[in-house]
């Protein structure tokens, strides 16, 4: 992805380090200091989920495991100092979320797991971001929404795919069935990430992965970081399965509103992306809840509690992100961070390439 601008001392230290080759002795020494710098950043943080330095730095560390970062040697990915820093930040995020979301009694059968997940979704009273986009949002807000979502949607499905080798039997087969659809069933034109990119281009936005990284607030990065933490750790296989199950359960109805809103604003490619999710996720939700999550609970009872931790984390983080955007829009402000180095209020630089 494109190299973002640091948002504090930790990000400055990290991005400066990553600009050097890993075989450089001085760089290796500085990498060994990075975990301590990460711990210091956590000590400075007030609200962890809203801390720009922590969330951007963790996002960059996770990016090394996906498409990489522009200008960064790929050998940094598993350098021990880098991994230790990632673990310091990722563990803090996991512990923060566990303290924020309540526990859940774990059902014993696939259908009981599915019923409990659907009940969680039905009880959720998070803010209506999709409804706002459907009927009230203007063109600028629609473009901002695409930018806010882009850091996840342009790599859609990739964090959940980490779970495939960590599952077996019914749960694995169900996950592969869902992921095959996410990746277009073998047709790159139907890959969901590619369809989202087409919607961005239609709106006059840069669809390169990470192009919006400097604009996306910390609370939106926290949601992406959480799914990467879940996906990268075998011990959190239940959490990544619960995350995907809740993602699928809560996608179809909001996608209907979002498709309506983008069509109203004359953005048919963006609408088509959400139309796809109205259909696909209505089918996926049953597979994800009963066969994938329920199948995992039966086959691997030790992962069961984390299924609901992952599911509740989706609802919690999505609600915080929605409140951030809606609060800004209803106050007449941009939901995006200012363009680095641009004059305040520069709307053209904010919204177009």
On whether the pTM is more than 0.85, the answer is yes
CATH superfamily, domain at 110-351: Heme oxygenase-like (1.20.910.10)
pLDDT digits (tens, 9 = 90+) for 204-242: 999 999 999 999 999 999 999 999 999 999 999 999 999
pLDDT for 105 equals: 82
pLDDT for 282 equals: 74
Q: What is the DSSP letter of 301?
A: G
**Average pLDDT value for residue range 314-319:** 96
Residue 353: pLDDT band (50, 70, 90) is very low
pLDDT digits (tens, 9 = 90+) for 59-81: 999 999 999 999 999 999 999 99
Please say if the pLDDT value at position 302 is more than 80.
Answer: yes
**Average pLDDT value for residue range 240-265:** 95
User: Of 111-115, 265-269, 309-313, where does mean pLDDT reach its minimum?
Assistant: 111-115
Dist CA 162 CA 241 (whole Å): 10
Q: How many residues does the chain have?
A: 353
| Residue-range domain boundaries for the chain | 9-100, 110-351
Dist CA 105 CA 308 (whole Å): 9
**Average pLDDT value for residue range 319-332:** 96
pLDDT digits (tens, 9 = 90+) for 19-59: 999 998 889 899 999 999 999 999 999 999 999 999 999 99
Dist CA 104 CA 98 (whole Å): 12
Dist CA 41 CA 44 (whole Å): 5
**Average pLDDT value for residue range 94-105:** 92
């Amino acid at each position: 992805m494109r190299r973002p601008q640091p948002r504090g001392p930790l990000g400055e230290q990290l991005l400066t380090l990553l600009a050097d080759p890993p075989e450089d002795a001085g760089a290796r020494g500085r990498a060994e200091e990075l975990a301590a710098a990460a711990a210091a950043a956590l000590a400075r943080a007030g609200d962890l989920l809203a801390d720009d330095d922590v969330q951007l730095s963790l996002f960059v560390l996770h990016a090394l495991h996906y498409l990489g970062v522009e200008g960064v040697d790929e050998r940094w990915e598993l350098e021990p100092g880098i991994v230790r820093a990632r673990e310091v930040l990722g563990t803090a995020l996991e512990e923060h979320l566990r303290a924020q979301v309540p526990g859940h009694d774990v059902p014993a059968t696939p259908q009981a797991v599915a019923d409990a997940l659907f009940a969680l979704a039905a009880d959720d009273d998070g803010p209506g971001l999709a409804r706002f986009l459907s009927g009230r949002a203007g063109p600028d807000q629609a473009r901002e929404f695409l930018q806010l979502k882009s850091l996840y949607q342009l790599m859609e499905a990739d964090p959940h795919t980490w779970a495939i080798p960590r599952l077996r039997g019914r749960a694995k087969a169900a996950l592969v069935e869902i992921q095959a659809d996410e990746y277009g069933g073998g047709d790159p034109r139907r890959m969901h990430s590619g369809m989202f990119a087409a919607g961005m281009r239609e709106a006059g936005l840069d669809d390169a992965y990470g192009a919006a990284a400097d604009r996306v607030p910390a609370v939106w990065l926290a949601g992406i970081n959480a799914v990467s933490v879940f996906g990268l750790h075998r011990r959190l296989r239940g959490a990544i399965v619960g995350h995907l199950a809740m993602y699928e359960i809560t996608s179809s109805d909001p996608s209907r509103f979002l498709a309506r809103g983008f069509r109203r604003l004359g953005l048919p490619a963006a609408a088509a992306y959400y139309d796809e999710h109205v259909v696909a996720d209505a089918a996926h939700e049953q597979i994800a809840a009963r066969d994938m999550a329920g199948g995992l609970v039966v086959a691997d009872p030790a992962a069961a509690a984390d299924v609901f931790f992952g599911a509740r984390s989706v609802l919690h983080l999505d609600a915080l992100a929605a409140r951030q955007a809606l609060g800004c829009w209803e106050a007449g402000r941009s939901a995006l961070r200012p363009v680095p180095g641009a004059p305040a209020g520069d709307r053209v630089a904010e919204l177009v390439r």
